Amino acid sequence: MTDFSQLSLGLAEVCRRAGQFIHQEATSFDRSRVETKGLHDMVSYVDQEAERLLVAGLRELLPEAGFITEEGTTGGNSLATTTDTEYTWIIDPLDGTTNFIHGLPCYCVSVGLLHNGELAAGVVYEVTRDETFRAVRGGGAFCNDRPIRVSDAATLGQSLIATGFPYTKFGQLDDYLQILGAFMQRTHGVRRVGSAAADLAWVAAGRFEGFFEFNLNSYDVAAGILLVREAGGKVTQFLEDGDPLFGRQVVASNGHVHAEMQQTIGQFWK
């Protein structure tokens, strides 16, 4: 039987090594080597090489596992919505690529592990702050190996909320802007960091009370979902308790403000 606690320590080390590569490349990054995957969706050689490093390290940890990867270096489907293997790594080698390209802080390595379809371990390594967030199913959540918990704020009026802005599929932009306006009026404020992995990790650490975003992929959120849950929080889809991992929309919170967040979103989301 797999010891997921022990495995998560090895996973953290693999993520830190990839993060160190990213940190080194940031000092001399050549913006001319950026490729465009789609509207506002960019990738660099750093993303691709970091993913190759992660895949190589994770294959040593768990040779039998499959992969869902953002950059497709394993030949898998980055938009997969299910898995048929006992173990599956879900990898985002550089969450916050736009920040990285522009020399802005906050970008992460994010890796989650599915075991029989359930999240079992996850790590988010925030490169610029050198913070390793780690979670194990049933084993709690940690930042640099210290236990973390969600905040105890009881209402939206006591909360700081994070979100992400859509960069493709603008058909629901008007709905989103109304939701954003409502949260701006009902909370301490709304922040847009530029990395969903960091947003979720920071909810788990009690820095944000909540986070919401749509049009997300599994590799954006896999590790972060487990972090929030193991830190005592709640993660769902916008208007229901469906699977947020493959559902392409996420509401995460400390649990106390979750109903208020869903009610606020539900006023405008169709």
Measured CA angle at 129 (ends 125, 134), to 5 deg: 30
Annotated ligand binding at 152? The verdict is no
Q: Which amino acid is at 98?
A: T
Residue 3 is labelled as binding a ligand: no
Angle between helices 218-230 and 196-204 (to 10 degrees): 0
Is position 70 annotated in a ligand binding site? yes
**Is 95 part of any known ligand binding site?**
yes
Token couple for 75: 């030949």
Find out whether 260 and 182 touch, Cβ atoms under 8 Å: no
User: Is 220 assigned a ligand-binding role in the annotation?
Assistant: yes
Those residues with Cβ within 8 angstroms of residue 134's Cβ, 6 or more apart along the chain or in another chain: 8, 9, 11, 12, 121, 122, 123, 141, 142, 143, 145, 227
Binding residues for Mg(2+): 70, 92, 94-95, 220
Binding residues: 70, 92, 94-95, 220
